A and B are shown apart, each in its own frame.
Chain A
Amino acid sequence: MRLPAFNALIGGGLIGGLLIAAGTGALWTPYDPLKLSFREKLAAPSAAHWLGTDEFGRDVLSRLMAGAATSVWISLLTVALAVIFGTLIGLFSGYVRGWVDRVIMAFNDALLAFPGILLALGLLAVVGANKYGIIVALGIAYTPSVARIVRGTVLSLREKEFIAASRVMGNSEAFTMARHILPNCIAPLTVLATSMFGYVLLAESSLSFLGLGVPPPAPTWGNMLAGARPYIGQAMWLGIFPGLCISLTLLGINLLGDAVRDRLDPRMRGMR
């Protein structure tokens, strides 16, 4: 089988599974994911609790399903936010060029040089440590990379002859931007957004792991994994299952990302 077909199949399957789990998890889970049950704490996987229970006796499977919903929702909104703002900044920067562009990009680069945790911490402190705070913080943290890519695309598109053609027609720069450049940024943005979904998921769980991230007790895979660390010796399943979910999702995203890239941009085949 050729690689792209393989990628699309496995990646699509994994992400399809994730979406189903998330969709189901948002509506129904075997147990209430927040329900404490002290008599059953740290119970090993069994018929009643397929994936065991955590230190508060909460059902791990239910939490994983609810966590899928939260993680998908957060990742989607974050990507949307970063794409929208990044695109606006990138378009503007690529449009005005000159020293304004240089200043914007200098800030952009400095922001990229920031460790994510500091940025997230700062922004979380400003916007509040809740689900939407995370979205805003991660969204802002990922905006510079979108802006950079959009600006690069804009600059390379500007060299294309159809842009020259638009100018020869007498179209204004703004019209050219909206009619010709923006639509042609969609393909690279799709590729970027796909892989960014994975990065955001990873960032959210990494932040949770360092003690930030989506505030518990609402389950996300990241905070479940982080919460499992002290019990890793006694209750291995607590750490295994959320990590497995994150890894499989990232694998799905990576494969699907490769497939999307092959489809939209054959020139970049196999690139990261």
Chain B
Amino acid sequence: MSAGNPVSESKPLLAVSNLTLKIGASGKTVVNDVGFSVSPGEIVGIVGESGSGKTLAARAIMGFVPPAVKLVSGSILFDGDEITTMAPKRLRAVRGSKVGMVFQEPMTSLNPSMMIGRQLEEGLALHRDLNAAGRRALILDMLRRVGLSDPEGALHAFPHQFSGGMRQRIMLASVMLLKPALLLADEPTTALDAVVQRDVMELMVDLTKENGTAVLLISHDLGMVARYCSRIVVMSQGDVVEQGAADDILARPQHPYTRKLLAAMPLRGLARELPQAKTPIVAVRDLVVDYPGRQRFFRKSAPKRALHGISLEVRPGEVVAVVGGSGSGKTTLGQSIAGLVKSSGGEILFNGKPIFKSETAYWDYRLNCQMVFQDPYSSLDPRMSIGELVTEPLRLVPGMRAAEKKARVAEVLAEVGLGNGFAERFPHELSGGQRQRVAIARAVVRRPSFVIADEPVSALDVTVRAQVLELFAELQRKHGFSCLFISHDLGVVEQVADRVVVMQEGRIVEEGSRDQIFDDPKHAYTRKLLSAVPGLESSGDGGVRLFWRLGEPDTVQPKSG
């Protein structure tokens, strides 16, 4: 890997300098005096959290400045031509033909009402002088190249007939057909399931390399950027805070923000010693959940089994993580243990007592089992103040006086770092991280002995995620509740879990202690999960080192210079 400075070596393909964008109405600066460059064939990453301006800056390169945003100053030179002042017609000639773009959301980036073949053909017809047969041949070739099993059939298929990963491949095919000199990839794998993320990413890298296409990769995922890019641009709140070779930035971050970003990457701590207890706090035996079939006119369609007899134990004080891809049934498991989804078989024991057998056992469990949800925007009633939200669970605690409740709420809000004055505010006045703190406060205010956390940090930005995980761990240590932690993010799981349960298609395929699972996975699916995302480990001195779990995959060469 060449760690030198490619900018100085050759004439850059893209040179952005002094780019400043403001919101027209409020005058707020969203991109501030930003400059970076991309050389031919190079892969450059822009990393930043939401609101960093990375997407706006990237889109400006294609001339896509939203109507509400004004370009105040700056220059964008592509191949020596100034994009910002280019006539629309010339700009259109550049778009697609010389600069291509891949989007985050594969569900909305292809036109749902147009056949794949026609969508792919559009760019070719516009920019290349080919007859229909020639275009068709090129398209089929490219579809085959991106790994579609039936390219002929795909021509006449609609996007909704493909999975997200497949659509992202088609998207890549559509863009790479024209062999652009530069590819803008805006979070190209973020919306994909963990196991396919890596495949798509590597396909992209291979394709661009074959065609000598430079890539500007925009991502919040430092690990991913570090893995594929030769250079990294770190953005925060509209500013470029640091840029340089990927290895340098990882190993020796200079700017405090970069360091904070790196520090926020989840890391594995030491395995905890838990007190041995005779009875698990929660035990699940042969839990079966069926989703009822849709009511059709005369008959119901066959029910769909979501959980095929799950057995699971959570011991006092223990954090058990449930991991799996989408459709693995992990969320259903959490919901059915929380009582939100009716089970059609099996039982749940709380402190050794089956909860469905007696009313007292059920209420004991009900009051002691709490849940933290994934989306902090929808899990808080928007019409209630923070104080009301956190007080509400105490309503059902028998014999608690108003004054006691008030004191408890104040205490818990202080614990989650929302002590002064937050009680009067409403959820929409809070940031995502603060909301999730409220959700956690609400879950622990009753001092439960068992908390189910369903993807509690997956909607949060990297640095916020770290803080919330920190808080959660602290509360867990302090109050000693057991936890079922559901997540697709192996990094997070690695950091918080004592024990890990791997699920696939409604069944548990492997379970064991965190170290067993991460270091010595037995099941093929576990291995696949682990190999899909790179891990990070601290290199000391604020820097991190990137590594592939289970070794480097053979199919893909890491980046070259």
Chain A interface (Cβ < 8 Å from any Cβ of B): 2, 160-162, 164-171, 179-180, 183-184, 186
B152 interface residue, CB < 8 Å from A?
A: no
Beta-carbon contact of A162 and B340 below 8 Å = no
12 A-B pairs (CB sep. < 8 Å): A2-B25, A161-B375, A162-B379, A164-B338, A168-B339, A169-B370, A169-B396, A169-B446, A170-B363, A170-B366, A183-B384, A186-B383
Shortest CB distance B390–A (Å): 11
Chain A residues near B384 (CB, 8 Å)? 183
Chain B residues near A161 (CB, 8 Å)? 373-375, 378-379
Which residue of chain B lies nearest to A160 when distances are taken between CB atoms in the complex? B378
Beta-carbon contact of B392 and A184 below 8 Å = no
Chain B residues near A179 (CB, 8 Å)? 381, 392
Which residue of chain A lies nearest to B370 when distances are taken between CB atoms in the complex? A168
B23 interface residue, CB < 8 Å from A?
A: no
B393 interface residue, CB < 8 Å from A?
A: yes
Chain A residues near B392 (CB, 8 Å)? 166, 169, 171, 179
Partner among B335, B367, B374 whose Cβ is within 8 Å of the Cβ of A170: B367
Partner among B25, B382, B442 whose Cβ is within 8 Å of the Cβ of A165: B442
Which residue of chain B lies nearest to A169 when distances are taken between CB atoms in the complex? B393
8 A-B pairs with the lowest CB-CB distances in the bound complex, closest first: A161-B379, A161-B373, A170-B366, A183-B383, A162-B381, A168-B371, A169-B393, A161-B378
- Interface residues as binary, B322-361 with A (CB distance below 8 Å gives 1, 0 otherwise): 0000000000000100111000000000000000000000
Q: A161-B379, A169-B392 are in contact. List 14 more A-B contacts (CB 8 A).
A: A162-B378, A162-B380, A162-B381, A164-B371, A164-B379, A165-B373, A165-B439, A165-B442, A167-B339, A168-B340, A169-B393, A169-B446, A171-B396, A179-B381
Chain A residues near B265 (CB, 8 Å)? none
Shortest CB distance A262–B (Å): 15
B369 interface residue, CB < 8 Å from A?
A: yes
Instruction: Name the prevailing secondary structure of the A interface residues.
Output: helix
Chain B residues near A162 (CB, 8 Å)? 378-381
- Interface residues as binary, B69-99 with A (CB distance below 8 Å gives 1, 0 otherwise): 0000000000000000000000000000000
Chain B residues near A167 (CB, 8 Å)? 339-340
Shortest CB distance B481–A (Å): 14
Chain B residues near A165 (CB, 8 Å)? 371, 373, 379-380, 439, 442
Chain B interface (Cβ < 8 Å from any Cβ of A): 25, 335, 338-340, 363, 366-367, 369-371, 373-375, 378-384, 392-393, 395-396, 439, 442, 446
Tell me the complex Cα distance, A165–B376, Å. Answer: 11
Tell me the complex Cα distance, A162–B371, Å. Answer: 11
Which residue of chain B lies nearest to A2 when distances are taken between CB atoms in the complex? B25
How many CB-defined contacts (below 8 Å) exist between A and B?
58
Beta-carbon contact of A168 and B383 below 8 Å = no
Shortest CB distance A271–B (Å): 19
Given A161-B374, A168-B339, CB of A184 within 8 Å of CB of B367: no
Q: Which of A161, A166, A167 gathers the greatest number of chain B CB atoms within 10 Å?
A: A161
Shortest CB distance B462–A (Å): 23
Which residue of chain A lies nearest to B381 when distances are taken between CB atoms in the complex? A162
Shortest CB distance A239–B (Å): 44
Shortest CB distance B129–A (Å): 42
Shortest CB distance A83–B (Å): 18
Beta-carbon contact of A164 and B381 below 8 Å = no
Partner among B340, B375, B382 whose Cβ is within 8 Å of the Cβ of A184: B382
Chain B residues near A184 (CB, 8 Å)? 381-383
Tell me the complex Cα distance, A164–B373, Å. Answer: 9
Which residue of chain B lies nearest to A180 when distances are taken between CB atoms in the complex? B381
Shortest CB distance A134–B (Å): 34
Chain B residues near A169 (CB, 8 Å)? 370, 392-393, 395-396, 446
Tell me the complex Cα distance, A180–B369, Å. Answer: 20
Beta-carbon contact of B379 and A168 below 8 Å = no
Tell me the complex Cα distance, A179–B374, Å. Answer: 22
Given A169-B393, A180-B381, A184-B381, CB of A164 within 8 Å of CB of B366: no
Shortest CB distance A58–B (Å): 49
Tell me the complex Cα distance, A162–B340, Å. Answer: 12
Tell me the complex Cα distance, A168–B371, Å. Answer: 7
Chain A residues near B378 (CB, 8 Å)? 160-162
Which residue of chain A lies nearest to B374 when distances are taken between CB atoms in the complex? A161
Tell me the complex Cα distance, A184–B384, Å. Answer: 10
Tell me the complex Cα distance, A165–B453, Å. Answer: 12
Tell me the complex Cα distance, A156–B378, Å. Answer: 12
Chain A residues near B374 (CB, 8 Å)? 161
Chain B residues near A171 (CB, 8 Å)? 392, 395-396
Shortest CB distance B102–A (Å): 27
Chain B residues near A183 (CB, 8 Å)? 381, 383-384
Tell me the complex Cα distance, A178–B545, Å. Answer: 53
Beta-carbon contact of B375 and A170 below 8 Å = no
Tell me the complex Cα distance, A169–B378, Å. Answer: 16
Shortest CB distance A163–B (Å): 8
Tell me the complex Cα distance, A170–B366, Å. Answer: 6
Shortest CB distance A45–B (Å): 45
Chain A residues near B396 (CB, 8 Å)? 169-171
Beta-carbon contact of B367 and A164 below 8 Å = no
Which residue of chain A lies nearest to B382 when distances are taken between CB atoms in the complex? A184
Chain B residues near A2 (CB, 8 Å)? 25
Chain B residues near A168 (CB, 8 Å)? 338-340, 369-371
Tell me the complex Cα distance, A18–B282, Å. Answer: 64
Shortest CB distance B183–A (Å): 32
Chain B residues near A160 (CB, 8 Å)? 378-379
Chain A residues near B442 (CB, 8 Å)? 165
Shortest CB distance B508–A (Å): 23
